[in-house]
Each structure stands twice: as structure tokens, then as C-alpha cells.
Amino acid sequence: MKLWQKDSSIDQLIERFTIGQDNVLDLELAQYDVLGSMAHAKMLHKIGILTAEELAQLISALEDIQMTIRSGHFKIEEGVEDIHSQVEFILTEKLGDVGKKIHAGRSRNDQVLLDLKLYYRDKIDQILELMESLAHVFVQQSDSYQQYLMPGYTHMQVGMVSSFGMWYGSFAEAIVDDIRSLRDIRKIINQNPLGSAAGYGNSFPLDREETTRLLDFDDLCYNSMYAQFTRGKTELILSNSLSSISYTLNKFAMDVCLYCGQNHGFIKLPAELTTGSSIMPHKKNPDVFELIRAKSSQLMALPTQIMMITHNLISGYHRDFQQLKEVLFPAIHQIIDVLQITLHCVPHIMPQQDLLVEDKYLYLYSVEEVNRLVQAGTSFRDAYLLVKDQIADGSFRPEKTLKHTHLGSLGNLANEQILAKLL
């Protein structure tokens, strides 16, 4: 059954191609389509399109569908194009002419926009919850290992003294900024498109404020044409945020893979987080972090995929938008999966103490020595040249007492201030 069905039949190859994965992916939208239909029906009653009895019948039938969805037994039947068609088919089969009234004042265009916004809103909330937990875990690790020194690198060369406290804290603050960005994107997404119909409104006296209230939106997409314009734009801004989160996770995973190797030995992973080799009995491979790295790399390409689907389209609806679900839905599941496994693994990483006693890390203290001389009265440039000459002739013997006090330094990580950004 198709909501647009005419008297003529459609080529079966064309039908399969145009439906694509909608009858599979739309199962994720089922609960939201029912919620939207409930709100729409209540609004139709308010403006006099539905009687109180008709509304009661529709709400009861929609509640039955919702129970079927929650039980896991709901399906989109063979030959039914999408979730919108399936829900209306059930309502019509059960209620007859009353079921046929549910579509008054809306189009599949604003239906799918609504379903997607409700779906994205829920998934964003799930992602935000994981990210907030991860930010707190990073801060806990930062506080716990503040005194564990490690090399800080520039150009992949040892540069200055760092610490595991600073390392963990850097990812905490990165995640916090990703959270703040995603929160803003949630506000943009959480605007009601229902009532825009096919993108140009309609002649029913729709009460769009009512459906906005019923569905707990922050605001409306007021302009009907802009409501349709958000298809693709919504996915793009969300994909950019997911890409930014992935950038953070990718860098962390790469650090772990590098630091746990024998050539560095900065951290150890417990055996239960590693895998072995079929030929090398000594191997403890960081497969989980390699997969976090690979999966986050995939997600960093997401905005490009979204742009390539939508970049040459004029205003109005196009079937091209269907492909956005096939790209973005799996990506949302993947970022949730990556966040969950990262959150699970981070507390089990074991930083190592006394790393900087080795001679190869001696020059990490060169800047400390320059700064010590400056504070004793030497000009910075003269102090720099003096230390440079000591390094060159092999006489460099720095003091290793660290005196870092400013905000964000080794001795003052400002973790409380970082978490305060979440408030």
C-alpha cells in the first residue's frame, strides 16, 4: 500500500529501487510516527476536523500500535512503502473511514521531518548522557594521576614535561566542548516542522503551537518552506557534531595505541582488554582501541557523505533525502557504540610511574631550566642561549623540581572549572 497510489501499477524493479531500505530503517521511526500522529489527531480535534469520538478511536488504536512497537512485534508489511503508510493502513483497517481522516492537514514530507527530529532528539540525549559520563571519568583519572609525569611531544619529538593528569584532563575538556556544541545543535533540531505539509503549508486552520506543546518542542520551524529546507541541513549539522566527537575519540585511541607499545611503555592495559596472536605468544594487542580509532575515523567522514547527497538540490523536497537515513542512522549507532566502549575502557588504563628518570627524557627540562634562570634575573634570550650551549657541550644538568601554578598547568589542572562548563 502506498499513500500516493493511483490506478496504474508501478514497475516492480522501480518500486524496489525507490523504496530502498525505508521499510527496514523506518522501524526505528515507528514510535515517533505514532507520537506525531497522536499529537496531530488531538490538534485536528481542536480545530474541528475530528469529533471527540473519532479522536478517542484514533488515540486508542494508536496506543495499541505503540504497545506492539514496544513489544518488538511491530513490522512494516511486504508491499507497504514506509512507516507512515503502515500506520495509516492499520488505522484504516481497524477504524475504516475514521482511520482515513488522520492524514488531513499533513504530508508525508512533514511526517518524516517530524519523525526524524523526534528520533534525533532522543539519540542526541542518549549521546549526551554518555559524553557527560565520559567527561567525568576523564576528570577522575586526571585527578588520580596528576603526579604521574610523562613526556609532552611536539613534532613527535619529546618537548616538555607533561603528566597523565594533563593528558586525561585535555580529553575531558575536549569532550566538554563537544557536549556544548551538541547541546546547541539539539536546540536547533528541536523545532516543530509539523503543519508545513509538503513545504508550502495548506488551507486547514492548523494550530501548530498546539502540536509544538504536545510534542515538547522548544519552538517551531515557522516558515513552511524552511521546515522542508531543514531536511538535509539537520543531518549536516548533526553529522558535523558527531564528526567533532569522533575527532576527540580518535586522538585518544591513537594515543593509547602508541603509549601502550613497548617502545613507549607509558601505560599498560589489563589482559582482559587485549587480544592475542595465533603465532606470537607474548602479544597483548590493543584491538579495542584500534577499532575505536578506525570507527571514529569513519565517522569523521560523515559530513562529507551528507554534503555529497544534498549539495546540488534546489529548495523543496527531493527523493535524494531518503539516502540520508541510510548514512546517518548507522553512524548514530556507531558513535553510541564507540562512546560506550570508551567509557568502559578508560578506568582500566594503567599509567606508569617514574617514566622520566631515563636519560632520553633529560631535555624535557630545558624549558624549565631557562625559566628558572629568567626568574633568577637573566634575560630570556640569554638564558635560552646558555641552556642551548649546555645541551650542545653535554654539560646540561637541570633541576627537576617543577613549579607550575597557573590555571591549566601541571600543578593546577583546573578540572573543577572544566566540569563547570557543563552547568
Report strand pairing: 219-220 vs 191-192. Answer: parallel
Report strand pairing: 149-154 vs 157-163. Answer: antiparallel
DSSP states of 208-249? HHHHHHHTT-SEE--SHHHHHHHHHHHHHHHHHHHHHHHHHH
Give the residue among 340, 316, 332 at the shortest CA–CA distance from 116.
332
Within 8 A by CB and 6+ apart from 55, the residues are 41, 42, 44, 45
> What 8-state DSSP symbol labels residue 76?
P
| Interatomic CA distance for residues 330 and 335, integer angstroms | 9
Among residues 8, 9, 73, 155, the one annotated as catalytic is: 155
Among residues 277, 315, 333, 379, the one annotated as catalytic is: 277
The neighbouring-strand residues paired with 125 are: none
- CA dist list (Å): 351 to 41, 104, 269, 355: 58, 62, 9, 10
Helix axes 108-144, 30-46, angle to 10 degrees: 130
Helix axes 164-189, 224-259, angle to 10 degrees: 170
Q: Is 277 a catalytic residue?
A: yes
With vertex at residue 265, the alpha carbon angle to CA 263 and CA 270, rounded to the nearest 5 degrees, is: 130
Half-sphere exposure of 261 (CA within 13 A, CB side): 9
Residue 419, judged by CB atoms within 10 A of its CB (0-12, 13-18, 19+), counts as middle
Contact indicator for 231, 219 with CB cutoff of 8 Å: no
Contact indicator for 236, 185 with CB cutoff of 8 Å: no
- Known catalytic residues are 155, 277
